[in-house]
Structure 1
Amino acid sequence: MNAARVERIAIFRALQLGDMLCCVPALRALRRAYPKAHIALIGLPWAHSFVERYAHLVDELIVFPGAIGFPEQEETDAHLPAFYDAMRERRFHLAIQLHGSGGVANDIVEAMHARINAGFLKPDETPRDGVFIPWPDDLQEIARYNALMQAIGIDARDMQLEIPLTQQDTRECDALIASEGLDTTRLVLVHAGAQLPSRRWPAERFAQVAAALASDGWPVALTGSGGEAAITASIACMPGVDAIDLAGKTSLGALAALVARAQLVVCNDTGLSHVAAAMRTKSVVIASGSDTHRWAPLDAERHRVLADYPPCRPCAFRECPYGHPCALNISVERVLDVARTQLPAEKLETDAHC
């Protein structure tokens, strides 16, 4: 594909933070291939902050109005006609469906009438005009989107995640560390939230892990969004827990900066797992329900994923109807054993001689 003839590119990916982070290597490859093109992300309203942070990769956010089959927003097709009209007026040279396996997501991209379309096809999907490849079900999430870039003719072998930090991120993180009295040389972050209840390990088990690590001498902080404050507050109030509750107190940038300085992250298989991978901070990830082959971090030594595999996995439910065996079969003792192997033992040994 002649880079000089591709001046306007649309990327359709209307998903949340963790999903967006996983496509950053593909976006990086796309930008290298088309350094002068105007690249627009068609995504969710929250992604304004994503575009601001990744301005070196994406030039603009176009807010997707929602559609039937897209549960991240109100499921209605009422706003699609106006959306399609606006997209056709933009006369994109290339429209890339990075949202998922195909189907209706491809319909949406095709309705934009770009010169060339690209994306994925479900196994039983009719072939489409453009550059479409079978959904690579055997690949890890980051590799899937790189595979599509390769099909387009773009060199996309680098799979390293990144979260660029600004001076404001660093200042905000420094202020939080000072105000909360955090010792980042020993800090463990515990993140008990996840968007779907089916993806959450029980809060009381996170509380037991937090209490045990604090008893070992590791200061613990609880992280989460403002919407997850009830979860972190319940953990902070449980017997034996001595942890600082940071829920709702950090922007993405400040949280990433704090993760970069922490010794360990203990979390569900959610966006913070990808933040830890991007910042190269060791983690223990309790993966409930999710497809670990698809979503597990690439560095299996730095990021230890704990999962159980009942027949119902991978899970398609918001709330588990089967008693949540994939979560309950991961014990507190198992998480603690792995967490302790991930922590730098020499810190506590040094302190013991003081």
Structure 2
Amino acid sequence: MLTAHPIQKIVIFRALQLGDLLCSIPAFRALRTTYPEAKITLVGLPWAESLLTRFPDYFDAFIAFPGYPGLPEQEIDPQKTTAFLQQVQVEKFDLALQMQGNGSIVNPLAELFGAFYTAGFYLEEDYRPNPLFLKYPEGIPEIERHLLLMNHLGIPSVGTELEFPINSFDRDAFDQLNLQIIPQKYICIHPGSRSLARQWPPVYFAQLADYCQEQGFDVIITGTKDEAHLAAEVMQHMKHEGYNMVGKTTLGAVAVLIKDAFALISNCTGVSHIAAAFGTPSVVISLHGEPERWSPLNQTKHRTIDWTKTPKFELVMAQLTEVIV
């Protein structure tokens, strides 16, 4: 489908959070395999510039996305948005990939990138710029959705595995924590979530933490500094002492912790996909109502409980028991 013009410069529009980007890595891998010499630019939220060093094989450049009307991730600054579009248009990309979402809001924006080809997703009732756009597949894993887009464009898949490379800076950041823990002898608990509506009650995390400790594991609580109150509440309800590392780690150090852990317990957040990348067993409590979309593909190693349908603590405990006993 992409044969009328050489593909030398590609721009990917995916201005979302960590978990969203990690679920797209198999698609990015397929893209790079098909176009090994192309310059690939990621348009993302400012935090995502770090992915250039995390995934140097997949991204060559980064442009920060300043926001757009109808997208909730950032406040709108019309002047910055105009300057952003000018910056993108000057690049004269050969291919622009709208991987932001179903296209109901952003497809006209993606066309303004001015690429020779523009592709992405669309909804039946909404605007479809051209045949390179794929009708948004519903009810499937996010990983497979983006691979379907690649396949639609004639780009073969090269596996569904997630990735999260660890570098020497990550190991150094982990070593500086000076934690007296033994690999495979501890369990990470990540009680936070970007949305308050998706946070499982801290008292439940505390009960799981106590159970883990009674099975002989250390417990390490992770999260950002903004989630310190959650960690404090979890520890307040715990019968045993744990390591509270909330706000004390880099993302890379958290990745090292998860890689070497026996298991992870979390809400459905980016860390659940980091665990999937490493093959670290996990118990994930899903409160967003889309477990089929965001759950790790290996459902034996990664147990996802849809709390919106079965809000039963004993079910979560049963899944945890199967994972660690």
> How far is the alpha carbon of 1:165 from its aligned partner?
1.1
- Look up the SS of the partner of 2:106 in the other structure: helix
**CA distance 1:142–1:239, change in 2 (3 Å):** closer
**CA distance 1:308–1:336, change in 2 (3 Å):** closer
- In terms of mean alpha carbon deviation, does 139-148 or 67-76 score higher? 67-76
Give deviations 1:103-135, integer Å, cap 9, x for gaps: 221111101111000000012113312510100
Contact in 2 for aligned 1:199/1:290 (Cα 8 Å): no
Q: Percent identity?
A: 36
* Correspondence for 2:312: 330
> How far is the alpha carbon of 1:102 from its aligned partner?
0.6
* Correspondence for 1:174: 175
* Correspondence for 2:80: 79
AA aligned opposite 1:338? Q
Does 1:65 pair with 2:66?
yes
* Correspondence for 1:215: 214
Alignment partners' CA distance in 1, 2:285 and 2:139: 22
> How far is the alpha carbon of 1:142 from its aligned partner?
0.3
Contact in 2 for aligned 1:185/1:262 (Cα 8 Å): yes
TM-score normalised to structure 1 length: 0.87
* Correspondence for 1:23: 24
> How far is the alpha carbon of 1:78 from its aligned partner?
4.4
Alignment partners' CA distance in 1, 2:82 and 2:202: 43
* Correspondence for 1:267: 266
**CA distance 1:270–1:239, change in 2 (3 Å):** closer
> How far is the alpha carbon of 1:61 from its aligned partner?
1.2
Alignment partners' CA distance in 2, 1:65 and 1:157: 32
TM-score normalised to structure 2 length: 0.95
Does 1:342 pair with 2:323?
yes
Alignment partners' CA distance in 2, 1:3 and 1:181: 59
Alignment partners' CA distance in 1, 2:4 and 2:27: 16
Q: How many residues align?
A: 324
Give deviations 1:51-94, integer Å, cap 9, x for gaps: 21011100111000111111111145443222211111111110
- Look up the SS of the partner of 1:104 in the other structure: coil
- Look up the SS of the partner of 2:237 in the other structure: coil
**CA distance 1:309–1:194, change in 2 (3 Å):** closer
* Correspondence for 2:198: 199
- Look up the SS of the partner of 2:239 in the other structure: coil
Contact in 2 for aligned 1:184/1:261 (Cα 8 Å): yes
> How far is the alpha carbon of 1:222 from its aligned partner?
0.2
Does 1:303 pair with 2:302?
yes
Contact in 2 for aligned 1:116/1:130 (Cα 8 Å): no
Give deviations 1:330-351, integer Å, cap 9, x for gaps: 31x33222212111x4xxxxxx
* Correspondence for 1:291: 290
Alignment partners' CA distance in 2, 1:86 and 1:342: 49
Alignment partners' CA distance in 1, 2:10 and 2:115: 9
AA aligned opposite 2:111? E
**CA distance 1:4–1:125, change in 2 (3 Å):** closer
Alignment partners' CA distance in 2, 1:309 and 1:63: 35
Alignment partners' CA distance in 2, 1:213 and 1:194: 21
* Correspondence for 2:104: 103
* Correspondence for 1:160: 161
* Correspondence for 2:236: 237
Alignment partners' CA distance in 2, 1:285 and 1:190: 10
Alignment partners' CA distance in 2, 1:130 and 1:84: 23
**CA distance 1:80–1:185, change in 2 (3 Å):** closer
Instruction: Extract unaligned runs of 5+ from structure 1.
Output: 311-325, 346-354
- Could you list the runs of 4 or more consecutive aligned residues of structure 1 that deviate by over 6 angstroms after TM superposition? none
Contact in 2 for aligned 1:65/1:83 (Cα 8 Å): yes
Give deviations 1:8-64, integer Å, cap 9, x for gaps: 111000000000000001011111111111110000000011121011100111000
Superposed CA RMSD in Å reads: 1.7
> How far is the alpha carbon of 1:138 from its aligned partner?
3.0
AA aligned opposite 1:235? V
AA aligned opposite 2:312? I
Contact in 2 for aligned 1:203/1:235 (Cα 8 Å): yes
> How far is the alpha carbon of 1:309 from its aligned partner?
4.2
Give deviations 1:197-224, integer Å, cap 9, x for gaps: 1111101111111122212321101011
Contact in 2 for aligned 1:3/1:34 (Cα 8 Å): no
Give deviations 1:126-184, integer Å, cap 9, x for gaps: 331251010011321000101111111101151100011112222332343xx221122
Alignment partners' CA distance in 2, 1:184 and 1:198: 33
AA aligned opposite 1:23? S
